[in-house]
Amino acid sequence: MERETSTSKKLMIEEFTRLSDLIKSKYGVSLWLVEIMGRRHSYVAGHKEESFLPPQVIYLNEEFAVVSNNWDKIPEKEKKKLINHLKMFSGT
Determine the pLDDT at residue 37: 94
Closest CA to 34 of 8, 9, 70, 3: 9
| pLDDT for position 6 | 75
Q: In the prediction, which pLDDT does 2 show? A: 54
pLDDT value for 24: 96
Distance, CA of 39 to CA of 91 (rounded, Å): 21
pLDDT per position in the chain (92 positions), as tens?
456 667 788 888 999 999 999 999 999 999 999 999 999 999 999 998 888 888 999 999 999 999 999 999 999 999 999 999 999 887 65
Query: Where are the chain's structural domains?
Result: 3-90
First to last CA, the chain: 31
The pLDDT assigned to 17 comes to 95
Cα–Cα distance for residue pair 88/92, rounded to 1 Å: 5
